[in-house]
């Protein structure tokens, strides 16, 4: 791949927080490796016969400064319409929701992939690997889990396990995740709400009290775990059990246990086979919870707390592959 430029398909660059954003960390690492960096949004992608069916983007050259606290932290050049074949790699790092615009973008990027462009992560896998449902491929590694729309089915699961967590399948960053117990007043009304009157499936899992000790985000590059951060719920008067950093979870340095390494090893062949180069998995109390493939976060926290140059290691692995 050499030092061919890399394109990052992201949210508008001015919205990114350089002190926390993993895409910024990767862009800066690419530059340190001597790789020119360009950026585009979903709306910048196009395809058509005028370009011999090539997929192109109104991309901007980006210089992301190494000091993350400066303002502004980046400069850009004038947008140019470039075929994606010009890039050594295209990173699809647009944050969820996985809506129509996102799905159409994966189809456009898949056209580019057919023309020899390396897209990270692979567009077909981004569509197929729902970040909640994909973990069910390894249900034996998870807490007891059910996905259903019918209130009676969900209520019976809650009755069996006592305390449960409800997760919308399209949620992100802990949004919409709800704790409930079999005896919770209005449980059926809650289930009607989260299933949109029994029209949408929802994931329900047995509650793991071990989440109080943290929810571990493990970042895998080409199937290999290169770093992790433990996210501890804030707790407090509201009894917040969610550990996501976006809802107040506190990051802590951590090491991987033998059981967590075993989980990574079991997932690795499928991740590699389906073109999932950069992935973040969540593990609670030794149980697999989610597999994040759209725009996994956590690089900054791993680098700061673990003194691991994770972004540089990721770009080095990419350039060697």
Q: Which residues are catalytic?
A: 132, 167, 217, 231, 242, 282, 290, 292
d(C-alpha 212, C-alpha 204), whole Å: 19
Q: What are the φ and ψ backbone dihedral angles of 85, each rounded to 5 degrees?
A: -65, -15
CA distances from 307 to 226, 229, 231, 296, 315 (A): 12, 11, 17, 19, 17
- Given the structure tokens 């249900």, which residue do they identify? 139
Rg (CA), the chain: 20
Tokens of 185: 């007043």
Helix, strand, coil percentages for the chain (3-state, nearest 5)? 35, 25, 35
Judged on CB neighbours under 10 Å (0-12, 13-18, 19+), 158 is buried
- Tell me if 99 sits within 8 A of 127, measured CB to CB: no
Residues 250, 231 contacting (CB under 8 angstroms): yes
Reading the block at residue 125, the tokens are 């896998």
Give dist(CA 302, CA 229) in Å, integer.
Answer: 6
Q: Are strands 202-206 and 145-148 parallel, antiparallel or unpaired?
A: antiparallel
């Amino acid at each position: 791949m050499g030092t061919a430029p890399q394109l990052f398909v992201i949210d508008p660059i001015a919205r990114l927080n350089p002190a926390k954003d993993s895409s910024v960390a990767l862009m800066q690492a690419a530059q340190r490796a001597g790789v020119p960096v360009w950026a585009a949004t979903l709306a910048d992608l196009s395809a058509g016969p005028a370009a011999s069916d090539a997929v192109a983007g109104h991309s901007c050259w980006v210089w992301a400064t190494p000091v993350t606290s400066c303002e502004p932290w980046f400069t850009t050049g004038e947008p140019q319409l470039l075929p994606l074949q010009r890039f050594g790699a295209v990173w699809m790092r647009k944050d969820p929701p996985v809506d129509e615009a996102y799905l159409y973008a994966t189809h456009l990027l898949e056209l580019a992939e057919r023309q020899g462009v390396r897209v990270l992560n692979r567009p077909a896998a981004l569509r197929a690997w729902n970040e909640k449902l994909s973990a069910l491929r390894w249900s034996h590694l998870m807490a007891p889990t059910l996905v259903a729309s019918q209130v009676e089915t969900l209520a019976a699961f809650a009755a069996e396990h006592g305390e449960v967590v409800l997760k919308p399948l399209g949620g992100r960053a802990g949004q919409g995740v709800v704790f409930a117990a079999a005896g919770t007043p209005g449980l059926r009304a809650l289930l009607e709400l989260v299933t949109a009157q029994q029209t949408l499936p929802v994931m329900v899992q047995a509650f793991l009290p071990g989440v109080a000790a943290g929810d571990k985000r493990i970042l895998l590059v080409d199937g290999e775990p290169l770093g992790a951060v433990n996210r501890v719920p804030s707790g407090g008067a509201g009894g917040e059990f969610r550990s996501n950093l976006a809802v107040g979870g506190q990051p802590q340095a951590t090491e991987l246990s033998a059981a967590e390494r075993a989980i990574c090893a079991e997932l690795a062949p499928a991740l590699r086979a389906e073109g999932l180069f950069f992935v973040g998995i969540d593990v609670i109390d030794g149980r697999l919870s989610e597999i994040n493939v759209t725009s996994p976060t956590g690089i900054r926290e791993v680098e700061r707390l673990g003194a691991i140059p994770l972004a540089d290691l990721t770009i080095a692995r990419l350039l060697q592959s």
